[in-house]
Structure 1
Amino acid sequence: MRRGARLHVADVYGNDPAGGNAAAIGQAIAWMARGRVPVVVVSLVGPPNPLLARIVAAARRLGTVVVAAVGNDGPASRPAYPASYPGTIAVTGVDGRGRALIEAGRATKLDYAAPGADMIAAGRDGRARTVRGTSFAAPFVAARLAAHLDRGIDGAIAALDREARDLGRKGPDKAFGRGLVCADCATRPR
C-alpha cells in the first residue's frame, strides 16, 4: 500500500442472517464508488445478479475498479460473480510453487493469479495462521493495481500486465490469466 493511502472496509454481513447477499455487496461497492475509492476487493462469489452487474459497471464508469476472487468451488464450477462481470479484474490463486490451487473456481475470463496458499496471515485473534484460497490472492492484485493508478486505470492495468510473470501455456490462459502478480509479496510459513 502506498504511504498515505486510506483503507475503506464495508461489512456486508453485519448481524443480518442473509448478509453477504448481492444487495449488500452492491451497496458496499456503490458506497465506495461514491467515495471515489479507486480499487475495491471483493472476496465473495455467487451467481450472476443483474443489480450487482449494473452497480459494478457504474462503479467502473465512476473510476472504481472491482478486483474479485474467482472463489474456491473448483475448476468444474460455474463462473463466479462478480469476478465474471465485464470490467472486473478476476483473480485466482497459486501455491508457493506457482501451481494453480486445485480448489480455485473460475470466471468467464481470468485476469491474474497471485499467492493464495502456503502463506500466513493474522487471524481474528491477531495470531499468525496458515491461509489458503483465492480470497487471499485478490488483495495482492488490488494492491499492485493501486500502486500504478497514477497512470489512470487503463495505464495501471497495462503496468500490471508488464509486471505479471507468465505461467502455464505461453500467453493468457484459463489457469493463470495474464500471469502471476506479486509472487514475492506473501509471508511464507517457516
Structure 2
Amino acid sequence: MAIASLLTGGGIRASAPGAALHVADVYGSDPAGGSASALARALAWMVQGKVPVVVMSLAGPDNALLGRFVAAARARGTMVVAAVGNEGPAAPPAYPASYPQAIAVTGVDARGRVLVEAGRARHLDYAAPGADMLALNAAGQARSVRGTSFAAALVAARLSAAWSGDAAAALKVLDREAKGAGARTGRGVLCGACRTAAR
C-alpha cells in the first residue's frame, strides 16, 4: 500500500497521478513467497501485459533465474527499477538492482544525504527521496516511511512519466531532470519535490 500511495496519492502527494497500476503479490500465502521464481513469474506477467516500467522494492542475493528474467524483460521493452536495499554500504551488492539491465536506485533524506542504511549495487543509476516523508499504510493512514524501496518507487514514477516507448529517450529525460550527480547518487537525485514531508 505504501508504494502504491507514493505513486497515486490518496491523501499524500502523487508522483504518478493518473497512472494505471499493475500489482503482483509475490508473497501471498505461499511459504516460498518472495522467492526468485515468484519474482520471475510476476515479471513475466508484467512483460506479457506490456507494462513499460516495473518497480521492485526488494533486494536479495544474485539468482541466475531472476537475472535472466530481468534481462529478457528489458529486451522486450519493460524497464525494471530496483532498490539497492537497506543493509548498509558494507553489504554485498543487492539484486535485482545489480543486474546491468536494471535501473538501480538509492535513497536520500530531506537534506539530500544518502541514507546511512542504503545498500549498494554493482552500478548506481539514480537517487530519490527515501526518508522524512509520508506514505499510506494498509488502513489508509499517513505514516512516516524510510528506505530505498520508497526511493525506487519515485524513480519508477518519473521513468513512467517520461516513457514514450524508447528506453534510451526516457533515460535521457531523467538525466536532464536529475540533480547532484555523484558517486553516491549516480546520475543524480530525481523527484525531490515528490516527497510529502513527515509531520
CA apart distance, 1:18? 1.9
Higher relative contact order (CA 8 A, sep 6+): 2
Number of positions where the alignment pairs a residue of Structure 1 with one of Structure 2: 184
Residues 108 and 129, structure 2, Cα contact 8 Å, conserved in 1: yes
Distance (whole Å) between structure 1 residues aligned to residue 160 and residue 111 of structure 2: 26
Deviates more, 1:65-74 or 1:16-25: 16-25
Query: Which runs of structure 2 are paired with 1:45-64 in the superposition (5 Å)?
Result: 45-64=59-78
- Look up the match of 2:30: 16
Q: Does 1:127 align with 2:136?
A: no
Q: Which of residues 78, 94, 103 is equivalent to 1:89?
A: 103
Cα distance, 1:17 vs. partner?
2.0
What do you get for the CA RMSD once the two structures are aligned?
1.1
Instruction: Give the residue type in structure 2 aligned to 1:179.
Output: G
**What displacement does 1:172 show?**
3.8
Post-superposition CA distance 1:97-127 (Å, at most 9, x none): 1000000000000000000000011111111
- Structure 1 unpaired stretches of 5+: none
Structure 2 residue 40 is the aligned partner of structure 1 residue 26? yes
- For the pair 1:144 / 2:158, whether they are aligned, the reply is yes
Identity of matched residues, %? 63
Q: Does the 8 Å contact 2:106/2:152 carry over to 1?
A: yes
1:51 maps to a residue whose letter is L
The gaps in structure 2 that reach 5 residues or longer are 1-15
CA distance in 1, matches of 2:150, 2:192: 13
Q: Distance in 2 between matches of 1:22 and 1:9?
A: 17
Q: Which residue of 2 aligns with 1:178?
A: 187
Letter in 2 for 1:120: L
Specify which of 165, 173, 196 is matched with residue 187 of structure 1: 196
Contact 1:79 1:105 in 2 (8 A): yes
TM-score of the aligned structures, taking structure 1 as reference length: 0.94
Q: Is the 8 A contact 1:2 1:147 kept in 2?
A: no
Distance across 1 between alignment mates of 2:27 and 2:137: 18
Runs of 4+ displaced beyond 6 Å:
none
Separation in 1, partners of 2:89, 2:99: 18
- Conserved 8 A contact 1:70-1:92: yes
* Deviation of 1:2 (Å): 5.4
Which residue of the partner structure matches residue 3 of structure 2?
Answer: none
In structure 2, distance between residues paired with 1:27 and 1:82: 14
